[in-house]
Each structure stands twice: as structure tokens, then as C-alpha cells.
Amino acid sequence: MFEPVKGHAVVYDGKNYHHNCFACENCKTSLEGTTFSTKNEKHYCGQCNTELFKANCHTCHLKIDGETVIFNSEGQTLKFHNECFTCAKCKTPLKGKSFVPKGDNVYHCTDCR
């Protein structure tokens, strides 16, 4: 059963919520006055959104929150932090540059190939 919202309410997307009901679907932290994401009409705080929905970097295996380098290798989509996608020899960032795959997670810039 739904209890009518009386007094203080949080309004989001034209809907009224009790203060304690407008919370992260995962950790139940209040979302009032915070930045949050909505997936399938469920709301998630920034931390839970990152933990649950962001990809892991193919190099360091940490969650990617921000710009991502994405490319396909042998039918597999690989994702990297910009700073993790570098030449294995000279450490030059490879985003937007030509590179040569040398093995699993090993890439060389065209100067080092």
C-alpha cells in the first residue's frame, strides 16, 4: 500500500516521494540534494552507480568513471582508462593514435613496434 506524501516531500520527474523513500536502490542512502543516476526507473547514488554499472579497465581492473578508451580486439570489446592505455615500451598514451597489438594487453606505438 502507498502512504500519501504529507508535509515535506521530494519531487523528482513530476512524482512526489517521502524524504526517506527517495533513496539509492542499492545502499538506501538519501538522494535528496545529491547527484544520482536513474536506471530502469530506479535511482542510484554516484558510488553505487559506479560500482554496479561502470566497466572495469582492461589494464588495471579498476572501475572506469570518466573518459574511456574503447576498441574491439578479436571480437572482444576492451575498455581502458585513458592513462592505462599506453605503449608497453615508451608509455606514450595511445588514445587516438595508431598502435600495434603485441599480445594480451600489450600494445606498442608505431615508433616502438
Q: Return the pLDDT at 1.
A: 54
Contact 10, 19 (CB under 8 A): yes
Decide: pTM greater than 0.85. no
3-state secondary structure of 27: coil
Rg (CA), the chain: 21
Q: For residues 20-50, b (16+ Cβ closer than 10 Å) or e, as one string?
A: eebbbbeeeeebeeeebbeeeeebbbeebbe
- pLDDT, residue 113, reads 82
Taking the C-alpha atoms of residue 45 and residue 50, their distance in angstroms, rounded to an integer, is 9
The model's pLDDT over 69-97, given as tens digits with 9 standing for 90+, comes to 888 877 888 899 999 999 999 999 999 89
User: What confidence category does residue 8 fall into, taking pLDDT thresholds of 50, 70 and 90?
Assistant: confident
pLDDT digits (tens, 9 = 90+) for 23-35: 999 999 999 989 9
10 Å CB burial of residue 18 (0-12, 13-18, 19+) is: middle
Residue the block writes with cell 545502499: 27
